[in-house]
Structure 1
Amino acid sequence: MSTDDVDLHALYQAHWRYLVRMAVLLVDDVASAEDVVQDAFVALHRKAGTLRDPDAAVGYLRTSVVNLSRSVIRRRQVARKHLKVAEPEAVAGADHHVLLRDEHRAALRAVQALPRHQREVLVLRYWSDLSERQIAEALGISPGSVKSAASRGMATLHRVLDDELR
């Protein structure tokens, strides 16, 4: 297979914005999310010749974005813990207020407070609209783990949002 079988330009045009928005939900920073997605496309470009199925490219990108987002978060944690470096202030994009209206801000804060595993499962399920099998493949876990993480995450979100609305 050649790199011509995977049309990176078309993939970029069709999926870049969606992948950046997904990454923002995982890393909570637009600039880092854009870097994550760019790195995922670079990795796909390097690997495009070895993909057996060009249709798997979107799944590869999604998995790369999740894994690269994890790396960003790990690096932040190390920096905070060992270097005592303050995180740069996140700058919202021009469409930030349109995307995050008041009624969505509480939900977004609650999702961001979830443990990483639960947050990733819920973002892939409800933002990316993936099946349990696709989520399991993207995260490298069993479908049963996807179900339990989704259940625990949703229970936590319901509890937190119910408390906030009272």
Structure 2
Amino acid sequence: MTPELVTDVYPGRTMPRQRSEASAWAADEAVTRLFAAHYRPLVRLATLLLHEPGLAEEIVQDAYVALHSRWWRLRDADKALAYLRVTVVNRSRSAIRHRRVVQAHLAAARPAPDAPSAEAGALDQLRHDDMITALRALPPRQREAIVLRYYADLSEAQTADMMGVSRGAVKSHTARGIAALRNSLDGL
């Protein structure tokens, strides 16, 4: 049986449209020899990349199957081992990426072990709401000084520049605001 030849996308190169029996036998023999000589080193390579021997064996076996099915497309049969190595490394990378995605989804699905209870979250929200209410009750300059210093995390000098006052005024507004907040929140 002679395969029909067609010109590939590469000029001057022809490829069989379907494999002949002779090329199938050549692929079988070549892949068998490569398997016998290089299976274990390729599994070791994949195991070192994946830290999972079972998956490493599966990836190497899949690489040999891929090589066999694409044997007729190899330009240089001497590069078959290089093809196998690249295939094993690429498939290992894909498995690692897949593992990371799965772990990320599993981690997102389960609550953190020391996550606060729903009641603690509700109490925190109430405390936050109380703080916002107390902060809104402050005079504008005190509120501005506290927000810039502690929420925006600016230094005294930066806060003074932003407010257009001296550093002493920032210290004074901040101290008075904190005292007012403390009095307001202690009553709750």
TM-score of the superposition, structure 1-length normalised? 0.48
- Which has the larger Rg? 2
Which fold has the larger relative contact order, with Cα–Cα distance below 8 Å and residues 6 or more apart in sequence?
1
| Larger helix share, 1 or 2 | 1
TM-score of the superposition, structure 2-length normalised? 0.43
